[in-house]
Amino acid sequence: MSLSRRTFFTVGLASCGAALLGGGYAAGSFGATIAAANRRIAQTSHIIKTRYGDLEYAIKGRGEPFLMVHGTGGGFDQGLRFSEGLSATDFQVIAPSRFGYLRSSFPDDPSPQNQADALVEMLDFLGIDRVPIAGGSAGALTAAAFALRHPSRCSHLILIVPAMNLTNRDPVEFTRFQQFLVGNLLSSDLWFWAAQYLAPEQLIGTLLATDPALLATVSASERERAFLILRELMPISPRTRGITNDGRTSGSPSNMDLARIEAPTLILSTEDDRFGTAQTSRVISNRIPSAKVLIYPTGGHIWLGHEDDFSDAMREFVLRRDL
């Protein structure tokens, strides 16, 4: 992805401007927002102890278990958001927070492989033997590692807009200036709140890698979903270590031997994803000959306008008995 300095500079100025507003309304609004965000995440999840430290997770829905692994900037709450269409129908969604996100620990080696092993410990604790797993964005690395390391525990693998470096080229390229601005934005609750307040569509275009012009072409519920995904990155500060680690692991060349994946595999993406996951999806499909690939022409990194399509594709894929 190539993003202009102008875009990031505008976001940076907006953040600084809001931070300097101070006083009455700005301070009160920020305080209310962060308090509500903290209540939201504290009231929903559970924590278990693993060999890697604490692992946070939440469960929603009734039916067959379905493991949903969130993307960059997420946590269990984003996993639940990405799988709403499943938890509302046929599945009980288990959504963990990966290493460095929210209340999950950050071990010495926060690799996707160790994260996959931690997920097995969580499944053992929950008494779940075998499960379909979906990984969104950077969470696709953990999902793929789970399928490779624990094939007997993985019934289906779903990779959603997979952010993986499979061609020795980081799909998300930032200049040092851009890295500075993004680093500050994603490590401060106040800066991030200010940017959300003053430049939400620019954040959708950059952090969520989705053309904000699509907002005018989709349903009201899909527009609201886009802004919810953005708002639910708050609080951002307890996600910073995970975000930093994702940038490192997703940007580094992956040595996963995807051809060894045995589970039935579905890959979902969009052509206009600004993180280039359509091309990544095609590379993965070439390495997993039996994989099914669905790439929609528009929707960006949050598949805007295709929430029902993605949910239906995942549901039908997992419920099919002839795979």
Domain around 154: 44-172+209-319
Residue 260 maps to a domain: yes
Domain count within the chain: 1
Contact 81, 302 (CB under 8 A): no
Among 108-112, 128-132, 241-245, 248-252, whose mean pLDDT is lowest? 248-252
pLDDT of residue 171: 67
> Please, are residues 116 and 146 in contact by the beta-carbon 8 Å criterion?
yes
At 44-71, the pLDDT tens digits run 899 999 999 999 999 999 999 999 999 9
Kindly report the length of the chain. 323
Residue 277 lies in a domain: yes
11: confidence class by pLDDT, cuts 50, 70, 90? very low
CB 9 within 8 A of CB 1: no
For residue 240, being part of any structural domain is answered with: yes
Q: Which two tokens stand for residue 297?
A: 């022409």
pLDDT digits (tens, 9 = 90+) for 301-311: 999 999 999 99
Whether 235 maps to a domain, the answer reads yes
CATH number of the domain residue 146 falls in: 3.40.50.1820
CB neighbourhood size of 192 (10 A):
25
Residue 289 pLDDT > 70? yes
Lateral strand order in the sheet of 91-96: 46-50, 53-60, 91-96, 64-69, 131-136, 154-160, 265-270, 292-296
End-to-end CA distance of the chain: 35
In a domain, 302, yes or no: yes
Q: What is the mean pLDDT of residues 176-183?
A: 64
Residue 176 pLDDT: 65
Q: Which comes out higher in pLDDT, residue 257 or 174? A: 257
Examine residue 313 and state whether it is found in any structural domain, yes or no. yes
Residue 38 pLDDT > 60: yes
Q: Is residue 183 part of a domain?
A: no
The mean pLDDT of 312-316, rounded to a whole number, is 98
> Looking at the domain assignment, is residue 56 inside a domain?
yes
